[in-house]
Amino acid sequence: MKRFVVRRVGYALLSLVVLSATIFVFVRLTGDPSVLLVEPGASKADIDAIRADLGLDRPLLVQYAVFVKGLLKADFGRSFYYRTPVLELYLERLPNSLLLAVVAMAFSLAIGIPSGILAAVRVNGGWDRAGKIFALLGLSMPSFWVGLLLILFFSVYLGWLPSSGSGTPWHVLMPAFALGWYFAAAHMRLTRSSMLEVLGSEYIKLARLKGLPEALVIGKHAFKNALIPVLTLAGINLVLMVNVSIVVETVFAWPGVGRLLYEGISFRDFPVVQTTVILSGVMIVAVNLAVDLMYAVIDPRIRYER
């Protein structure tokens, strides 16, 4: 078990190194990173100061070391626009994105799981076909377009919901739905296939042989087993949601980290962009690691793999 943990953690760290190196390299690829890392309209003296700071005349590896050192010290630079450390800005906005993601996840599970179960239980029937269409729509309709349509409907035509900002529960509904839409389809597909697999298993056969009513067979025996892979995916998707929420947050002016990234690119505030990207990567690598380790705890077979 220990070997497994060490190995997985090692992989995760390696991924982080590769990611940081990638970001580092790409920034320098354009030739003169000081253009990016300096405020637009800065004086020559400022530019020279930054260049010295970053050590742009020193060998690449040294620059990289400086970069990594900064990351490890949690120094992600200052935002040009807000003039505060980016990390501060990020952490300030993160709870909002988390809130949005949690509500979106709730939506996606509330829609995805029941429809997936229905599709599996009535496989190839009307519900299943409807489910397939729903899955296709979920994949083909970009989330930001769904958001725009929701605004058109509920804000402009019906006037029920506010079209931007945050503050009341009403504000969260539409962005959460737009964000959760794609994932609802994904969760539905997974629930359906997981349920179909479970329904074909021997213990379900035995449950029917016991003479249990079908509702009990599905509701008690099949349900719990089918849900396991879905919930695992949901956990990973939650973190993914936080990181892909940029377009939805922009459409609804939701003050989360996605919107922060948008502001970063709008205002050419590169430290913000770079930080958001780095932290995205870190978050996802961390979650994948956590899920891998959790699986090893639950399923003893995995520990002895490879």
Partner 1 sequence: MSDTPLLDVRGLTTHYVSARGTRVTRAVEDVSFTLRDGETLGIVGESGSGKSTLALSLLRLLPPAARIVAGAVRFEGEDLLNKPESEMRRIRGKRIAMILQDPMASLNPLFTVGDQVGEPLRVHEGATRRGAWNRARELLGAVRISAPAARVRNYPHELSGGMRQRIVGAIAISCGPRVLIADEPTTSLDVTIQAQYLSLLRELQRAQGLAMIFITHNLGIVARMCDAVAVMYAGRIVEAGPVRRIFGAPQHPYTRALIESIPRLGEANGRLTAIEGQPPDPAALPTGCAFHPRCPQRLERCATEVPHDTAIATDHRTACWLHP
Partner 2 sequence: MNASRAAVLAFPGRLASFRREGWPMVPITILAVIALLAIFADVIAPHDPQVGLLGERFRPPAWQQGGSAAHLLGTDHVGRDVLSRLIFGARVSMVVGFTAVIFAGVVGTVLGILAGYLGGWVDQVIMRVTDAWLALPALTFAIFLAAIVGPSEMNIVIILGIVYWTRYARVVRGEVLSLKERDYVRLAIVAGCSKRTIMRRHILPNVVNSAIVLATLMLGVVIVTEAALSFLGVGVPPPKPAWGLMLADGKKGLMAGYWWLTVLPGVCIMLMVLSANLLGDWLRVKLDPQLRQL
Binding residues for partner 1, total number by CB under 8 A? 16
18 part of the interface to partner 2, by CB under 8 A: yes
Site string for partner 1, 29-48 (x = CB under 8 A): --------------------
Assign residue 211 a region (left: φ > 0; alpha: ψ between -120 and 50; beta: otherwise): left
- The binder of partner 2 chosen from 101, 151, 199, 296 (CB under 8 A): 151
201, amino acid identity? S
Which CA distances in Å does 27 have to 36, 49, 67, 159, 257? 8, 18, 12, 45, 21
Binding residues for partner 2, total number by CB under 8 A? 52
Residue 123 CA to residue 138 CA, distance in Å, equals: 20
Helix, strand or coil, per DSSP, at residue 85: strand
Cα dihedral sign for 247, 251, 253, 254? Answer: negative
- The binder of partner 1 chosen from 63, 193, 225, 232 (CB under 8 A): 225
Closer residue to partner 2 in complex, CB, 146/218:
146
Residue 183 CA to residue 141 CA, distance in Å, equals: 12
> For residues 139 and 185, is the Cβ–Cβ distance under 8 A?
yes
85 - beta bridge partners? 78
- The binder of partner 2 chosen from 97, 128, 243, 256 (CB under 8 A): 243
Binding piece for partner 2, criterion CB under 8 A, among 58-66, 85-93, 224-232, 267-275? 267-275
- The binder of partner 1 chosen from 138, 221, 241, 274 (CB under 8 A): 221
- The binder of partner 2 chosen from 113, 199, 233, 251 (CB under 8 A): 251
> For residues 174 and 252, is the Cβ–Cβ distance under 8 A?
yes
Residue 190 CA to residue 5 CA, distance in Å, equals: 28
Q: Which long-range contacts link 166-169 to residues 24+ away (Cβ below 8 Å)?
A: 166/96, 166/254, 166/255
Q: Taking the complex as a whole, how short is the minimal distance between the CB of residue 67 and partner 1, in angstroms?
A: 48
Closer residue to partner 2 in complex, CB, 156/209:
156
- The binder of partner 1 chosen from 8, 122, 132, 208 (CB under 8 A): 208
Q: Taking the complex as a whole, how short is the minimal distance between the CB of residue 129 and partner 2, in angstroms?
A: 14
Q: Which does 81 bind (CB under 5 to 8 A by kind): partner 1, partner 2, none?
A: none
295, amino acid identity? Y
Q: Taking the complex as a whole, how short is the minimal distance between the CB of residue 229 and partner 1, in angstroms?
A: 14
Cα dihedral sign for 49, 52, 57, 59? Answer: negative
Q: Taking the complex as a whole, how short is the minimal distance between the CB of residue 131 and partner 1, in angstroms?
A: 18
Q: What burial letters (b/e) apply to 178-205, b meaning 16+ CB within 10 Å?
A: bbbbbbbbbbbbbbbbbbbebbeeeebe
15 part of the interface to partner 2, by CB under 8 A: yes
Q: Which residues bind partner 2 (CB under 8 A)?
A: 11, 14-16, 18-19, 22-23, 26-27, 29-30, 36, 136-137, 139-142, 144-145, 148-149, 151-152, 155-157, 163, 240, 243-244, 246-247, 250-251, 261-262, 264-266, 268, 270, 273-274, 276-277, 280-281, 284-285, 288
Q: Which residues bind partner 1 (CB under 8 A)?
A: 201-203, 205-213, 216, 221, 224-225
